[in-house]
Structure 1
Amino acid sequence: MSELIFYTNPMSRGQIVRWMLEELGEPYEERLLDYGTTMKAPDYLAVNPMGKVPAIVHRGQVVTEGAAICTYLADAFPEKRLVPPPSARADYYRWLFFAAGPVEQAVTSHAFHWTPDEKQRRTVGFGSYEDVMNALEQAVAGKSFIAGDRFSAADVYVGAQIDWGLRFGTMPDRAAFADYVLPLRERPAYRRAQEIDGALIAKMQQGG
């Protein structure tokens, strides 16, 4: 059995972890799961009781949630230099988990056409969609990387969120977002990940 097992579905947030794994360049065993069947089967629920992907098992340790997986893998393979130096760690953690929390919540709520009123904004973690998009724009404006002067796991997670948002219209088409994400799309690991998942999606669609 491989030291690193990756549970995913190509039409899921597993695409984020796929990109991270390709950045690492380490061997991993892929296990594809289907919604409603193998994703809810007892053997996978023993890995993730939520019955959702992505998840990894690394040397017997289970990690779920895309942001947690990216952070874990960056720490587990320090020689890959996907964790920024200590001087840039504040931005690294700040924006990685901002993307995992407020950005995810705001984009989902916006997609479902739910806008919190003024009173509700004091309670919900993201406040408002507009506030989140403005903060995210400030985070990436004029930057090649979200934390420090080199690529890190935070760029995988933040970049994946913005990449998805621009491709599917869940985020506004702002110049700062495009300027940040376009170079990330040229990374060999990003391209490999997209090719792998694209081929898997095409195969699934052909099979009905």
Structure 2
Amino acid sequence: MTADLTLYTNPMSRGRIARWMLEEVGVAYDVVMLDYGSTMKQEPYLSINPMGKVPAIVHRGRTVTEGAAICAYCAEAFPEAGLAPNDDERADYYRWLFFAAGPVEAAITNRSLGVEPTADQQRMTGYGSYERVVDVLEQAVSAHDYIAGDRFTAADVYVGSQVIWGAQFGSLPKRPAFDAYIARLVTRPAYLKAAELDDAAMAPA
């Protein structure tokens, strides 16, 4: 039976964020694996995401792209999972979810590409400087056990993915606060299941 939800992904991509989120909400979903440079840049996928990027989900005929949006959407679409913010968590939830999707993503990408804005250019960039972004991210993950408080939410899937990958690939400096936050995330059953599925998808046939 075809599920109401389909994940379009590649196991070596930000699609791992969406996979983790779907495992957290615990709903059935189909998976379409796409290849860089071929199926990801061709129809029928371009009709789903004209950017030719993953991840994307289609849920009951509606498309959601962008990792942060997929996390927020799934938290609301599947409230029984308890991953949407409560009233006390909402401000930090949205603040840090979109901080990770905006300044953190941009700062890390630019640093990886060798793009370092000058002091004057930093006034024009949404993130200012890489160093300031890292310091603020460290403060955010140090304030509570989880990004919006004392409870894991969908925002931790996205923010946590950024921190986990940053530590793994060296795009974030090694700091005790990042290590402690990562340790709280990587033992979650949904994280382990998602990683297992994506790692298996990368294995040669």
TM-score scaled to structure 1, two decimals? 0.96
Between the two proteins, the alignment pairs up a number of residues equal to 204
Instruction: Extract structure 1 runs of 4+ deviating beyond 2 A.
Output: none
One-letter amino acid of the structure 2 residue matched with residue 30 of structure 1: V
Name stretches of at least 5 consecutive residues in structure 1 with no aligned partner: none
Q: Report deviation, 1:148.
A: 2.2
Q: Using the alignment, how far apart are the partners of 2:109 and 2:150 within structure 1?
A: 31
Matched, 1:20 2:13: no
Aligned residue in 2 for 1:37: 38
Q: Using the alignment, how far apart are the partners of 2:85 and 2:115 within structure 1?
A: 36
1:84–1:150: 8 Å Cα contact kept in structure 2? no
Q: Deviations over 1:142-190 (max 9, x none)?
A: 5211112211000000001000000110000000011111120000110
1:196-207 aligned within 5 A: 196-203=197-204
Aligned residue in 2 for 1:161: 162
Aligned residue in 2 for 1:54: 55
Q: Report deviation, 1:82.
A: 0.2
Aligned residue in 2 for 1:191: 192
Matched, 1:124 2:132: no
One-letter amino acid of the structure 2 residue matched with residue 81 of structure 1: G
Stretch moving more, 134-143 or 165-174: 134-143
RMSD of aligned alpha carbons: 0.9
Q: Using the alignment, how far apart are the partners of 2:9 and 2:102 within structure 1?
A: 21
Percent identity between the two aligned chains: 59
1:64-103 aligned within 5 A: 64-103=65-104
SS of equivalent residue, structure 2 residue 44: helix
TM-score scaled to structure 2, two decimals? 0.97
Name stretches of at least 5 consecutive residues in structure 2 with no aligned partner: none
SS of equivalent residue, structure 2 residue 88: helix
